[in-house]
């Protein structure tokens, strides 16, 4: 079979470059393509010396040519690294056109209700008249599809300026993208970091988000690879930390705040939300039982000198609302809806203050090969 260089270049256009938001051709990664019969030699120049990035680029090129051009082609990939010299490594977050504020919602540990809080913040913002999107970046435990009752929905493919993009699924005025749309309900996502990062990049840059006032990013619990990938891919306006009042959760929440405040990351912390602050029985609405401790997250916020955004009680209706895919923030004139509205208003106020007083987040410097070193406070 006679191979054509135009077909090869067209195949390479299907490969996204990690952290760039562009394909290999747009990002000028491909410097030369030579064809000798059924042999194809592709020269690439990358900006990072990381071994897994180089290996992934090589594999992606081979797969693209075999899939789109000729499955029996003999492909050779030559990779040259052109990393900036005498300059600290940087991870740049490129602005996403049309999105004004990107707010990461994080927690030091799992089980504190981070995803529930994120879903209700999104709905509350929408009810206030903002244009809102939600990116479910909890790759290994996605739940946005359940909480918004869109498990059976799938993002559609739309053409935007000649490029194929994913159209987020929309419900309750919130645009949603989640890895849950692309996996079966009982399927476990068992991916290494680079694979998860690639999936996130596709949901971020290959999506038609349109005009948004807020994009909420539901991060996985803890501090690690996915968090760095998110901050590598886009400029985070600020972070919201969710915790419960007990000491075990607060110890991890403190680490979450420290991650964002680390000098090499430097993402403003908009504040801390205390979830499951107290239990109030429906038959005794005036009674408050502090099952997990009292004002633990508020005291932590005071100690760390970050804003306290509010507390959410432990109420059965919040759990039931999440399970049936109708977030509690949709309720009208209930104590829980009012609490969520107050917290959302505080998030908006802190975002406005942050934008008035601090320059936009542009770059994150990585100081060690492993990512971020431990923080000493």
213 belongs to a structural domain: yes
Cα 239 to Cα 114: distance, rounded to the nearest angstrom:
12
Same domain, 170 and 310: yes
Last residue of a domain, one of 59, 81, 103: 81
Same domain, 64 and 103: no
Same domain, 64 and 116: no
230 belongs to a structural domain: yes
Give the DSSP H/E element, type plus range, for residue 79.
strand 74-81
Contact assessment for residue 93 and residue 363, using Cβ atoms and an 8 Å cutoff: yes
Same domain, 283 and 356: yes
- Token pair listed for 177: 């993208």
Last residue of a domain, one of 35, 51, 81: 81
Same domain, 59 and 110: no
Cα 223 to Cα 369: distance, rounded to the nearest angstrom:
16
Same domain, 338 and 359: yes
372 belongs to a structural domain: no
pTM: 0.68
86 belongs to a structural domain: no
Same domain, 131 and 222: yes
Same domain, 102 and 63: no
Radius of gyration of the chain (CA): 23
Find tokens 């759990």 and name the residue.
Answer: 319
Read off the pLDDT of residues 2-50 as tens digits, 9 standing for 90 and up. Answer: 888 999 999 999 998 765 668 888 888 899 999 888 899 999 998 776 6
CATH of the domain at 46: 3.30.300.130
In tens digits, what is the pLDDT along the chain, a chain of 377 residues? 788 899 999 999 999 876 566 888 888 889 999 988 889 999 999 877 667 778 888 999 999 999 999 999 999 999 988 865 544 333 345 678 889 999 999 887 788 888 999 999 999 999 999 999 999 888 777 888 899 999 888 888 888 888 888 899 999 999 999 888 887 777 777 767 677 777 777 888 788 999 999 999 998 877 666 777 777 777 888 999 998 888 888 888 888 888 887 776 778 889 999 999 888 887 887 888 988 888 888 898 888 888 999 999 888 888 888 888 889 888 888 888 889 999 999 999 999 988 887 777 654 444 443 444 444 44
Same domain, 267 and 162: yes
Same domain, 149 and 206: yes
Same domain, 255 and 309: yes
Residues in the chain: 377
34 belongs to a structural domain: yes
CATH of the domain at 258: 3.40.50.300
Same domain, 187 and 289: yes
* Phi-psi sector, 332: left (phi>0), alpha (psi -120 to 50), beta: beta
114 belongs to a structural domain: yes
Last residue of a domain, one of 30, 52, 81: 81
Contact assessment for residue 234 and residue 364, using Cβ atoms and an 8 Å cutoff: no
Residue 256: partners with Cβ closer than 8 Å, 6 or more residues away: 106, 107, 108, 222, 223, 241
376 belongs to a structural domain: no
State whether the Cα torsion 213-207-137-54 is positive or negative: negative
Tally of domains within the chain: 2
Residue 149 sits in which domain range?
Answer: 92-365
339 belongs to a structural domain: yes
């Amino acid at each position: 079979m006679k191979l054509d260089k135009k077909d090869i270049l067209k195949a390479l256009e299907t490969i996204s470059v990690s952290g760039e938001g562009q394909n290999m051709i747009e990002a000028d990664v491909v410097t030369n393509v030579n064809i000798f019969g059924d042999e194809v030699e592709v020269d690439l120049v990358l900006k990072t010396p990381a071994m897994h990035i180089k290996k992934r680029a090589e594999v992606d090129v081979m797969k693209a040519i075999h899939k789109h051009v000729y499955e029996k082609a003999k492909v050779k990939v030559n990779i040259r690294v052109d990393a900036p010299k005498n300059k600290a490594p940087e991870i740049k977050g490129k602005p996403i056109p049309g999105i004004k504020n990107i707010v990461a919602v994080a927690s030091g540990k799992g089980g504190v209700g981070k995803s529930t809080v994120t879903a209700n913040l999104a709905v509350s913002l929408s009810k206030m008249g903002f244009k809102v999107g939600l990116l479910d970046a909890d790759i290994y435990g996605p739940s946005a599809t359940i909480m918004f009752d869109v498990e059976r929905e799938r993002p559609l493919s739309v053409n935007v300026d000649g490029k194929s993009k994913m159209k987020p699924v929309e419900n309750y005025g919130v645009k949603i993208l989640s890895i849950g749309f692309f996996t079966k309900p009982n399927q476990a996502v068992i991916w290494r970091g680079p694979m998860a990062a690639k999936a996130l990049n596709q949901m971020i840059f290959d999506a038609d988000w349109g005009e948004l006032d807020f994009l909420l990013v539901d991060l996985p619990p803890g501090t690690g690879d996915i968090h760095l990938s998110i901050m590598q891919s886009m400029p985070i306006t600020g972070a919201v930390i969710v915790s419960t009042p007990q000491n075990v959760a607060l110890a991890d929440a403190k680490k979450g705040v420290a991650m964002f405040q680390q000098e090499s990351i430097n993402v403003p912390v908009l504040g801390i939300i205390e979830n499951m602050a107290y239990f109030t029985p429906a038959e005794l609405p005036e009674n408050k039982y502090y099952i997990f401790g009292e004002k633990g997250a508020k005291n932590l916020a005071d100690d760390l000198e970050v804003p306290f955004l509010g507390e959410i009680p432990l109420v059965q209706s919040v759990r039931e609302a999440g399970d049936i895919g109708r977030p509690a923030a949709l309720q009208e004139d209930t104590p829980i809806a009012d609490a969520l509205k107050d917290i959302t208003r505080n998030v908006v106020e802190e975002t406005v203050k942050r934008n008035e007083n601090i320059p936009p987040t542009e770059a994150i410097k990585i100081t060690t090969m492993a990512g971020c070193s431990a923080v000493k406070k």
